[in-house]
Each structure stands twice: as C-alpha cells, then as structure tokens.
Chains A and B, each alone.
Chain A
Amino acid sequence: MRKLEKLQNDSKAKTDEKVLLEVKNLKKYFPIKAGVFKRTVGWVKAVDDVSFFIRKGETLGLVGESGCGKTTTGRTILRLIEPTAGSVHYNGEDLLAMSKRKMNKYRTKLQMIFQDPYGSLDPRMRVKDIIAEGLKAAHIGNRKERYEMVKEYMEKVGLSPLYVNRFPHEFSGGQRQRIGIARALIMNPELIVCDEAVSALDVSIQAQILNLLDDLQKEFNLTYLFIAHDLNVVKHISDRIVVMYLGKIVEIASKHELFNNPLHPYTKALLSANPIPDPTIERKDRIILQGDVPSPANPPKGCRFHPRCWLAKPVCSEEEPPLVEVRPDHYVACHFWEEMEKQN
C-alpha cells in the first residue's frame, strides 16, 4: 500500500516537473513540383499541426509507421528542416524564430543520434575528429583539451580510448553507434533526439545501446525524444509515448496507460500488430486494418484514420477530432474514445 502511494507521488512529481521542450502547431509541407517550370502542384503534408511537450528528464517515445512524419518532426525541432509553420519552445525560447547564428549556439543543448551508424560518420575523418567536431565548431577548449575530452567520453560510452586515431570503417555497427552517442554527449546536451537510433542494429546490440542510453540518461540527467517504429524498443525506454498517423498525433499517454488502455483505434491496431516472441501463444485479438495508408499529399477529410477505422461513423469523415486530454496526461484525437474505453 505504501509502495503504491509512493509510486503515485512519484508520478505526480513527474507531472509537475517543468516542461523542457514544447512543440506547438508544427507544420511541415513539402511542395510537389511538376512540369518544365517546376510549378508547385500540391503539398505533401508530412507533419500537419503537431503539438506536444517533453518534460525535463523524461523520455518521450514517438511511434508510427513509415512515412507518418516522425523523423520530419524530429528534424524540424533541430531545424535540419525548416518548418512551414508552428513554434518549438525550448526553455521558453522559440527555436524556430531564431537566426541561424543564434541557433548554432543552442545546438550544444540539443543533440541528435542518427539512424544509420554507417552513413552518419564521415568515412574520411578519424574518430577523435568526429567526436570533437561539435566542440571545435563551438570553440570549446584547445586541441589538447578537446582530445582529452574525447578520450573521457569514449570511455563513458564503452569504447576504448585507444581507438581515437581509427577511421569509422574499422568499427562494427554497435561501436559506430557508440561513437554517434559520444559525439552527441560531448556537447553536454539537455535534450537528445534519437532518430531510430537502434533500428539499424542487431537485436542483441540494440539492447546494449538502449541500456547505455538509459545509464547515460541517469548520469547526465538527459531528456530524450526517442523516435522509433519498434514498439518493444519504445516500451523499454519511454516514459510517455506519442503515436502519429499520417502527419497527425492520434494519442499521447504514459507508457502503461497507452499499452493497457489505448483510446484510439489506430493505437490499438498498432499494439495488436506487435509480435510476441513466443510461438505457443495464439493471438486472437489481432486487429488487421483494411486498406493502405492514404497518401500524405491527399489525406482523407475529417479524421485521417476514418477510411480504415472499424468504429467510423459519418461524423468522422466530416469533422476532424481535436487532440483532447480525456484522462490526466492522456490525450487522444478520436470522436469515440469512450467506446474504445468500454471495449478495453
């Protein structure tokens, strides 16, 4: 009983913690150009009116299927892609309104770990230069100090400092991802966007990297935005989870709430598609969605999920459901979330 109380207190403390990053009405439309004169004939709505926030010290998972705008969201926050509209407030300051020069100063606080450990390291640079790149760009320390820091952080991510003079191709995938983590970490960031940071790795290495990320989070009090399509990975590492579908957020909830009480039909279908690595369990509750994901260039009217939804009623194709907080810290964008709750 006391334990339960403590848990509740903990979660309450977490809710009160301050918001580190707040994304408001973020939009990114990519133009579709055609013809000789490259006229814009339409827009791919990769991210369409997305709002969420990340609290300090938590891990926010961002899931969805391919092409739903997860990666675009992550990149827009770091301004690797300039957004069409919206704002990203970091500690109260709007990152998107900043000049490029000012943004470069903020980059030390916001780092990213990339999906592809093979492509994200320059093959013609030594490991020490790769890791120290951010320090050099921010004019931190002299050559020797940077070199010492590189060695220190290599040890922190579980790489031998003896490898400083090697080239990336001399490492395995897992080791390369550790280099990627070290280069993000050396800037002493507050927020790290992990863009599919483990999807390119073997399952055994995935576990190592996830545990490393977990340990580093505790050591450096980091905040993660963890973008992934693997639900098991997200379940392992996240505190709260955002589910995206076709450039929109359909549901935001804490990990346990989302897995036990999904209030959006898409979330439920997504969770039921998650394989259980046990052949003896027969799954009867699997929901198989009909049809394909519509094109983000021409999304359906109303609720974007309605053509594939088994709960869809006429109102769904006309009125777009807003993202509302239906339970404490549980947001859902569905007209019939109450029905879903009954089904659960």
Chain B
Amino acid sequence: MATKEIEGALESPLTIKMKLAWRSFKENWKIFSESKIGVLGLWIVIIFAIAGFIVYPILAATVWKPTLSGMVSYDPVTGYDFTQMLNPAPPSLHHLLGTDPLGRDVLAQLLYSTPREFALGILAALITVFIGTIIGTVSAYYGGAVDTFFMRLADLVLLFPFIPFLIVLSGMIQIDLFRLALIIGLISGFGGITIVLRSQAMIVKVKPFIESAKVSGASNPYLIVNHIIPNVMPLSFLYMMFNVTGAIFSEAVLSFFGLLNIKMSWGLMIYTADTAGYIVGSNIGHYWWLWLPPGAAITLLCGAFYFIGRGLDEVVNPRLRRR
C-alpha cells in the first residue's frame, strides 16, 4: 500500500518528537527573548552558574591550591592567609575581594556558596511546585470538602509568619541546607501556589476535552494526571521560578541570624561580618567588601530568577504579550 511506503520513508517517531519539541522551543524562545527583563535575568543566572560550577573548581585546583608551606589557604571555611598582617584586609592582588575578619578569602567564599544557593533554590522550588500542582489540581477537580480543606489550609499557610516559624524550628532541630529546602518547599507548597494552580485547574476542568475523556471511560486520577496537570504545567513552571527567589531569600535571612547548620553561604558571610562588628556605624562604608559582594549576589540572583519568571509569564500568558 502506498501509505506504508510513505511511512517507511518518513522519519521515526522519535526524530519527529525531537523536531516538534525543537520547534515549540524555538517559538517560545522568540517570545521569551522579546522580553528584555527575562533575557537579563537569564544572563545573570548563566553568569552565576558559570562562576559557581566552572570557575570555582578551576580556581580551586590551580591558583587557590594550598601551598606546601601552608602559609596561604584559600579554603572558604578554614582558610587563612599568614602573610596578611591585619584581617579583614581590603581587596588586593592576592585577595581580589579582600579577606573576612577570620582571614578567609571573600571571593572564594562567594564562589563556593553559589552552587549551594542554586541547589537550595531549585530543590525547594521543585518540592513546592510538585506539592502545589497536585493539591491544586486535586482540590479543583474533586471540589467539595477536599477543596474547602486544602484552601483553608492554604489561607492558614499564607498568614503564617514564615521566618519566625523557621527561627523557632531552628532552635529545635538542626537545619542544614537539604532540610531547609525540604521545609521551605513543603510549607510554600501548601500556600499561595495551590490557590493559583487550583484556579487554573478550575478553568481546565470545565473544558470539553475533559468531558470527552470521561466518555472514553477515563478515571478521575487518569483525568488529573493526563489532562489537567499537563494543561496547568506551564503555570507551575512559572511559579517555580518565583519560588527559587523565595527560597534563596529565606536562606539568606536565616543564615544572617546564624540559625542554620551550614558551613558557608552568602547570608553567613554577612553574619560573620556583622557579629564581628564590621557592619555597625561608620564601619559599614569602610569595610564594604565584607557585605557588598554577598549582598549583591543575593539581590542579583533572586532578582534574576524573578526576571526569568516575568519573561516566562509572557510565554505562558498570551494576554501579556505585546502584539
């Protein structure tokens, strides 16, 4: 038969799939690249990623290698420069961003923390989105008591004083980076994101294709997994970006209070400078290299993920597109 022959000549389903994915990616990229703010955010994230994942390991293996004499160490946690008379020392050729009150290299600390911030932000956001999507779609689909329960729970979580809660919690258990990501992810997963995704799922739920799937004999879990979740997925992805920002920010706040059981992070760098009394009064302008690099890094990375979210918003929400 003719169609059989044509079919043989056609590409395999996998290549078609790849091509289709590439095409939709190109289309979406075009829309995304039109939003300047989104592209700016993406560039900032890329620069941070390169610095943290590529530049730091290279530097640590070459320039910042511990010398045999043991006089200068660039280790972000235990390092010390014995050739330096006074600590904290201002930026110099040896220490591009100076040293902290304990004599550790600020740049090394900054770069060392970057991958950890990424990991924390993305893990927390993934957990949030996973929980939020499932609960949002389930409560939208079933409605009734399930819906009421989860929505009132979401109201409760929204009103919850988040940072004070984490402060109290840190007094009771040791919070390391992984646990922090888990806690942030869990708590914000039950909060605002469920409300947004529920409302989106309510729109999808009444679409005719849900009914046509019901006529095909589809069960409720099948409908949620195969029809509703794929249709709210773009929005959950968007909210993931906003949640990365929230997670990094909470981490900075908590380590600034010295409540986390972690070796090094941007918040901890400011905490070290602060507890040593270098961010008080006129000192704040004098010892700028102690707080400006980590502070700027927190602001930039949080902002960058938020900007990407804004750019994605235009891809996901055709209403926002300017054309």
| Chain A residues at the B interface, C-beta cutoff of 8 Å | 78, 80, 104-105, 107-108, 110-112, 114-116, 119-125, 133-134, 137-138, 155, 160-162, 165, 167, 180, 183-184, 187
Contact = CB atoms under 8 A, between A and B. Distances in A.
Contact of B231 (A122, A137, A167, A180): A122
Contacts of A112: 212, 215
9 tightest A-B CB contacts, nearest first: A134-B216, A119-B208, A107-B217, A120-B208, A137-B217, A122-B209, A124-B230, A112-B215, A104-B217
Given A78-B215, A108-B217, A121-B212, A162 B207 contact: no
Given A124-B230, A180-B212, A137 B222 contact: yes
B6 interface: yes
B3 A120 contact: no
B114 to A, nearest CB: 35
B216 A122 contact: no
A321 B168 CA distance: 75
A138 B217 CA distance: 7
Nearest to B24: A167
A113 to B, nearest CB: 9
Given A78-B215, A133-B216, A165-B16, A116 B208 contact: yes
Contacts of A180: 212
Given A162-B10, A165-B16, A114 B217 contact: no
B213 interface: yes
B211 A133 contact: no
Contacts of B230: 122, 124-125
Contacts, number: 71
B227 A122 contact: yes
Interface in B5-51: 6-7, 10, 13, 16-17, 20
A187 B214 CA distance: 13
B86 to A, nearest CB: 62
Chain A contact surface mostly: loop
B215 A111 contact: yes
B217 A120 contact: no
Contacts of A124: 230-231
B25 to A, nearest CB: 15
Contacts of B13: 165
B17 A134 contact: no
B92 interface: no
Interface string B296-314: 0000000000000000000
Nearest to A104: B217
B212 A120 contact: yes
A80 B209 contact: no
A64 B248 CA distance: 61
B215 A80 contact: yes
Contacts of B62: none
Contacts of B211: 80, 114, 120
Nearest to A133: B216
28 contacts: A78-B215, A80-B214, A104-B217, A107-B217, A114-B212, A116-B208, A119-B207, A119-B208, A119-B209, A120-B211, A120-B212, A122-B213, A123-B209, A124-B230, A133-B213, A134-B215, A134-B217, A137-B217, A137-B218, A155-B3, A162-B3, A162-B6, A162-B10, A165-B13, A165-B17, A167-B20, A180-B212, A184-B215
A92 B223 CA distance: 30
B203 to A, nearest CB: 12
B317 interface: no
Contacts of B216: 107, 133-134, 137, 183, 187
B173 to A, nearest CB: 41
B219 interface: yes
A146 to B, nearest CB: 12
A162 B1 CA distance: 13
Nearest to A165: B16
A104 B219 contact: yes
Nearest to A115: B208
A134 B212 CA distance: 10
Given A116-B208, A134-B215, 20 more contacts: A80-B211, A108-B217, A114-B211, A122-B209, A122-B213, A122-B231, A123-B231, A124-B230, A133-B213, A137-B217, A137-B219, A137-B222, A138-B217, A161-B7, A162-B6, A162-B7, A162-B10, A165-B16, A165-B17, A167-B20
Contacts of B231: 122-124
Contacts of A107: 215-217
Tell me which of B207, B208, B217 has the highest count of chain A C-beta atoms within 10 A of its own C-beta: B217
A120 B213 CA distance: 9
A121 B209 contact: yes
A108 B216 CA distance: 7
A125 B218 CA distance: 15
Nearest to B11: A165
A187 B217 CA distance: 10
A104 B218 CA distance: 8
A161 B3 CA distance: 8
A165 B226 CA distance: 17
